Chains A and B, each alone.
Chain A
Amino acid sequence: MNNWNFQELHETPSQTGGPYVHIGLLPQQAEIEVFEYNYDNNLLKNNPQGERIRLEGQVFDGLGLPLRDVLLEIWQADTNGVYPDQTNPNFQGWGRTGADFTSGFWSFNTIKPGAVPGRKGSMQAPHIALVIFARGINIGLNTRIYFEDEKTANAQDPILNSIEWAPRRQTLIAKREERDGEIIYRFDVRIQGENETVFFDI
């Protein structure tokens, strides 16, 4: 180590969340009642403005098998494309869930976000940031969820367009369907192999 440089700190290194990540982050899924107020996958609690949607999917490993111990979090803007801060008590913009221990299915109840400004005066297509943590994953994997019914906006999105391999962009587009009057976006994550989801260094 050279000593003549100024001292900057190094980021604390990441470690896997491990198989029991639920104990700390979703205690109720581990059947632990400790907290009066628990964080969860319902972003609609305070009746925010906007179109109600359900996001759901599975996360697959390199053999095509679903991860049944994965933890997911989303971060998104409100219906007007504004990221919530303390001044918006109706919408926190964030939620957390665990895949079902048997099927590996996960879901969030939320609203569809509005378009958010991009860099240098550009606009980003509506999107939701997603991070996944699990046993075997040494550092949280960051990706983004876009919507298949936003074709025009997606075509101009600066982040999607920064992915040089155009076919890989499709891995970030959630598929829209309607079920019992509910709007569902299906988003599967493939960690490894064919149709591997794009992951970002953000």
Chain B
Amino acid sequence: MSQILLGTYAQRNTDDHPPAYTPGYKTSVLRSPKNALIAIAETLTEVTAPHFSADHFGAKDNDLILNYAKDGLPIGERVIVHGYVRDQFGRPVKNALLEVWQANASGRYRHPNDTYIGAMDPNFGGCGRMLTDQNGYYVFRTIKPGPYPWRNRINEWRPAHIHFSLIADGWAQRLISQFYFEGDTLIDSCPIIQTIPSEEQRRALIALEDKSNFIEADSRCYRFDITLRGRRATYFENDLT
């Protein structure tokens, strides 16, 4: 088979994402551009991205239960989260850097600016990272985060969520988002989730209970798949360079 020549990434469907200006999420009001984004035809700058060496990863980088444990285990629900990263055309995304961060079981973050009364856990850090494998698969282990209050309206509460970031094959795929847990009733009232215009896309951020992958007398499991933008192949003129 001759080598496939890759063209540009398919354009981002802006209707599938939150707009920048979303007054229900108050901080966005002064942090959103007034001008429309300027769309550009992609060049090498947008279709390339850095590579991350597996050599730089420690053995517990994807184990948030143990990677900050000092004198015991962190308190909270033991869960494994796993899934596949694919592009929009269904191809696996290999060797992508997936980074995650979250609050502890109280809904408290290990961050200098978080002063919520929920208790800190001296054995929980709240960050991890991994590379997807040749099938686009990833897996990490953690404590299920608690919901937490924040000052948007005064009695606003985030559902339990885990933040995630992906750096994959092209700069155009760079993505940061958050996933939620099936059945959390706070999902329906969260103004950050409500910035996403469609119900189907909001649902795409909910990790599903994966019962057959629970580990007896140990951990429950959630399944969460991620889709990135995909590149088209070029069979005629190649204008990229």
Q: Which A residues are within 8 Å of any B CB, using their own CB? A: 8-25, 27, 30-32, 34-37, 61-63, 67, 69, 73, 75, 77, 83-86, 92-94, 101, 116-121, 124, 127, 129, 131, 133-142, 144, 158-159, 162-163, 168, 191-193, 196-202
Contact = CB atoms under 8 A, between A and B. Distances in A.
Contacts of B183: none
Contact of B28 (A18, A93, A138, A193): A138
A133 B178 CA distance: 13
A118 B33 CA distance: 27
B110 interface: yes
Contacts of A15: 18, 163, 176-178, 192-193, 195-196, 205
Contact of B101 (A25, A37, A75, A199): A25
Contact of B30 (A61, A84, A92): A61
A162 B40 contact: yes
B56 A21 contact: no
B109 A23 contact: yes
B125 interface: yes
Which of A23, A117, A134, A198 has the most chain B CB within a 10 Å cutoff?
A23
Given A24-B100, A62-B30, A116-B43, A101 B16 contact: no
Given A13-B16, A192-B33, A129 B229 contact: no
B205 to A, nearest CB: 6
Given A11-B228, A15-B205, A138-B22, A93 B50 contact: yes
B149 interface: no
B68 A32 contact: yes
B111 A192 contact: no
Given A129-B171, A191-B32, A13 B201 contact: yes
B12 A16 contact: no
Contacts of B110: 23, 30-32
B1 interface: no
B19 interface: yes
Given A24-B165, A191-B32, A13 B17 contact: yes
A120 B42 CA distance: 11
**A-B interface, 9 closest residue pairs, ranked by CB to CB distance from nearest:** A24-B101, A136-B27, A136-B31, A94-B50, A138-B18, A62-B30, A37-B56, A83-B48, A201-B37
Interface residues of B, number: 87
B40 A140 contact: no
Which of B29, B33, B41 has the most chain A CB within a 10 Å cutoff?
B33
A161 to B, nearest CB: 11
B114 interface: yes
A85 B53 CA distance: 11
Contacts of A93: 50
Contacts of B195: 15, 138
12 contacts: A14-B177, A17-B163, A20-B109, A27-B127, A36-B56, A75-B48, A136-B31, A136-B32, A163-B38, A191-B32, A192-B33, A200-B40
Given A158-B43, A200-B37, A202-B46, 6 more contacts: A12-B205, A14-B177, A20-B163, A30-B110, A138-B25, A196-B34
Contacts of B112: 30-31, 101
A143 B58 CA distance: 33
B42 to A, nearest CB: 7
A22 B111 CA distance: 8
B215 interface: no
Given A17-B176, A69-B113, A75-B50, A139 B18 contact: yes
Given A32-B126, A34-B67, A138 B20 contact: yes
